Amino acid sequence: MSDRKEFRDLASPEAAREAIDSLDIGGGTETVGLAEARGRVLAERVDASVDVPGFDRASMDGYAVRARDTFGAGERDPAVLPVIGTVHAGEAPAVSVEAGEAVEISTGAVMPDGADAVVMVERTSERDGDGERGGDGERSVAVETAVTPGENVMLAGADVAAGERALGPGTRLTAREVGLLSALGVESVPVRARPRVAIVSTGDELVRPGGELDTDAGQIYDVNTYTTAAGVGAAGGEAVVYPHVDDEADAMAETLTEAAADCDLVVTSGSTSASAVDVVYRVVEERGELLLHGIAIKPGKPTIVGRIGDAAYVGLPGYPVSALSIFRTFVAPAIRAAAGLPEADSATVTGSMATRDRYEAGRRRLLPVGLVTDGDGETLVYPVDKGSGATTSLTEADGVVDVPADTSYLSAGETVTVELFSPDVRPPTLLGVGEDDPALSRLLDDLARPRYLARGSRPGLRWLRDGIADAAVVAGPVEDRPDAVELGGWEREWGLVVPAGNPADVAGLADLVDRELSFVNRTTDSGLRTTLGAAMADLADERSVDRHEVTDAVTGFDLDRRAFESPARMVAAGDADAGLGLRATAADLGLGFVSVGTETVRVLAAPDRTGKDSLSRLEARLADLDGYLDGLEGYDAE
C-alpha cells in the first residue's frame, strides 16, 4: 500500500481564510516605554491627564493687553499704552496687566495675569513718553488695531485638554502619536503584544545563505526563512528563526513541538505536498490537529492549516513564489489582526476634496488632510489644521496634499492625490465630530478604527451639514438642525462643580450672579454652554432683566475651557469656586456637585452614510446603552 496522501478535497480560499482566522495567533497586552513604542498598537484608551498647553500662551510676538483697552484703535488713532515689562518663553510672568497697560511678550510665553489678548508686533509701533497715556518718559507702544478677547492666544488645553480622550485602543503609534504622548507626560503605554512566529524551513536540500553550496547534490539556498521573517516583521509579528530541518519525521516532530511551546504561531515552508517524503502533515496529525490540507488556489495548493499543541500552525509550500503568495494572502492578514494592525494600503490615494479650501498664494503648501469614505465608498479628503502649535493636527491627519505655490484654492469635489504618512494608513471606519462626553468615549472604544474630533456641538452640526462627517454628537438644544438621522442618545446631569464639601455653600446659578464667586465656563461651541445659556436666560426672565445683565454679573462667565473636564480641574486646583460640568466628572475627580438640570446628548448621522457598517454598529450599541453607562453618575439612557 502506498504511503502517499491524495488531495481529494481542496478547501476554497474562503474556507482557508476562515480556518486561519479561527486560530489563536497570540495577542495579550504588555507595557512598553515611549522609546520602544513606535510601531506598536495601543491596547487601551489613553486619556489626557494634563492640559496641553498647560497655560494660556501667546501665539504671536507682540504685546499682551486687555482687549477692551484697544477697542476703537486704528492706524490713525492708535491706543498708546505704557509697556510695564517683558515676558519671554519659558519664564513665569513677573508683572500683571492692569487697565491701560501692555506687556511685551514672545511667542509661546505665559500670558500675564490681567491680559486676555495679544496684539501682533506688526500692528504696533514703539513710542517714547510724549504726554499721552504712558508719557513722562515711560516706554510706550502705539496699538494700531483693535483685538478681541482670546485673539492671538492659545488657551490652556486648546491642543489637548485634561480628561479628553487622547488616543483610543487600536491606534498604531507612529512618531506623531509618540509626540502627543510625550506632550502629555506619559512615560509608558499598554500595547498589544506582538505574536511570536516560529519560522522553520524544511528540506534536505537547503543551505542557509553564507553557507557552502553543493550544486551537484542539488542543494539550494534557503530563500523562505528570511523572506517569511521579513513578512512577519512587516505584519507586526516577532519572527523567531529556527534552523532548517531535514525531511525526517522524528527530527521534524521535535523541532515543531519545541517551536510550538515557545511561540504563538509556527510557520513552516516545504514538505507540505502529498508525497511519501513530505511528512509535515503527519506530524501535525500526530502532535495536534489538521484543519485542512490543500487549497484550491494557484500557486499554493499544498498548504496546511492546523494546530500543534497550543500553537497555531500554517505550512507553506516550498517554492518561494508559492510560499510568499500564500503568506501575503492568508497569513500576514491574520498576524496583523492579532497585532491589532490594519490591512496594508498603498502609499498614496486619490480622493475628492470634501470642501473648498483657500490658501495664501505664493507658497507651496503641504496640507495635512484626513480621509473619510462617503455612502458610496468613495474617498473624501478634508483639511486638518488646528495651527502649527497643535500636536493633534498631525494625529488627526492621514497624509498631506502637496499644494503648488500658484494654487490659491482647492475646489470642493476636486480630485487630489494624498501622500499617506504610512502605507498602512486607511480611512477611519467612522468620522464623528461634536461634543466631548465620557459615555461617548466608551462607545468609541467598542468600534474599530473610529476617528472622533471633539470640536463641540456647533462644529459637529456644521461638519455634518457640509457633508464631511459621518455623524455629529450634539448636546442640549439644537438650533438650525441639518437634515440628519437620529441614531440614539442619552441624558446627562449637569450643573456646577464645586470643591469637595462645597465650602462656599453654592446652591445654584443665582449664587454665581449674586455673590462674588469665581466661575469657569465652557466654550461657546459646547452644547453644555448653550444649555447653561438657556438656564441663565430663564433666570433673567424670572428677575425681569436682560440676559446679559445676569451673565455680566458672573465673575468669569467668559473664562471658558474646551473639554468637559477642564472647568472641574480648575476647581480642583483651587483656581475657581465653581465650574460648569457634569455630575459624572465631579464624582470621578472627588469634587462636590450642585445639580442644575439634565440635558440630552444626541447622535446624528448623515442620511447618505447610514449604510456604512460603522454607523450600523454604532446604532446597535446606542440601542443597548446600559452597559456603557455603568458607573457614570448622572447618566441615563433615553
* Segment-wise mean pLDDT, segments of 10 residues, the chain, 638 residues: 52 88 87 92 92 92 96 93 95 95 96 96 82 55 95 90 90 91 93 93 76 75 84 92 83 90 91 57 86 81 89 87 81 91 79 86 74 92 68 72 83 92 84 95 93 93 94 87 91 97 96 95 93 95 94 92 89 95 96 97 95 94 94 92
Confidence at residue 390, expressed as pLDDT on a 0 to 100 scale: 54
Q: Measure the CA angle with vertex 144, ends 92 and 114; round to 5°.
A: 30
pLDDT digit string (tens) for 211-229?
877 777 777 777 788 889 9
What's the CATH code, domain 485-637? 3.40.190
The CATH number of the structural domain formed by 348-427 is 2.40.340.10
Given its phi and psi angles, is residue 50 left (phi above 0), alpha (psi -120 to 50 degrees) or beta?
beta
Domains 57-154 and 485-637 share a fold: no
Residue 531 makes CB contacts below 8 A (sequence gap 6+) with 475, 476, 477, 494, 597, 599
DSSP assignment letter at 95: -
The full set of domain ranges for the chain reads 13-27+194-339, 43-53+159-190, 57-154, 348-427, 485-637
Tell me the C-alpha distance between 317 and 272, whole Å. Answer: 6
pLDDT for res 2 = 40
pLDDT for the residue 131:
38
CATH code, residues 57-154: 2.170.190.11
- The answer, yes or no, to whether the previous bond of 503 is cis (omega within 30 of 0) is no
Q: What is the pLDDT of residue 394?
A: 60
| pLDDT, tens only, 464-513 | 999 999 999 999 887 777 889 999 999 999 999 999 999 999 999 999 99
Residue 341: closest CA among 235, 191, 238: 235
Please name every residue paired with 143 in a beta bridge, in sequence order, or none if there are none. Answer: 79, 124
Q: Which helix (H) or strand (E) holds 240?
A: strand 238-241
User: Could you tell me the fold of the domain covering 13-27+194-339?
Assistant: Molybdenum Cofactor Biosythetic Enzyme; Chain A (3.40.980)
Residues 6+ apart with CB under 8 A from 15: 292
pTM for this predicted structure: 0.70
Taking the C-alpha atoms of residue 335 and residue 450, their distance in angstroms, rounded to an integer, is 21
Q: How far apart are CA 65 and CA 84, in angstroms?
A: 11
